[in-house]
Amino acid sequence: MYAPGRVRNSACDRMLAAAMTLTCLVAIGGCVPPQMLTLRGGLDSLRVVVDTLVVRDSISYELLKETRREVLELRDVLLSTRATSGSTTQELFEQTGRLEGKLDEVMGRFQQMRTSSPAPGTALDPRQLYDQATQDLTQGRYALALQNFRDFVARDPAGDLTDNAQYGIGESFFAQSRFDSAAVEYAKVEVLVPEGDKVPAALYKLALSKEKLGKAAESKKTLESLVKRYPLSGEAQLARERLGNPGHR
- Return the top range by mean pLDDT from 22-36, 149-163, 208-222: 208-222
pLDDT at 174: 97
pLDDT digits (tens, 9 = 90+) for 160-194: 999 999 999 999 999 999 999 999 999 999 999 99
pTM (predicted TM-score):
0.55
All domains of the chain in start order, with CATH: 4-116 (no CATH), 126-244 (1.25.40.10)
How many of the other CB atoms lie within 10 Å of CB of 248?
9
List all residues 6 or more positions away from 226 whose beta carbon is below 8 Å from its beta carbon.
200, 203, 204, 207, 233, 235, 236, 239
Is there a contact between 142 and 174 (Cβ–Cβ < 8 Å)? Answer: no
- Return the top range by mean pLDDT from 26-30, 120-124, 180-184: 180-184
For residue 221, give the 3-state DSSP assignment.
Answer: helix
Asked if pLDDT for residue 247 goes beyond 50, the answer is: no
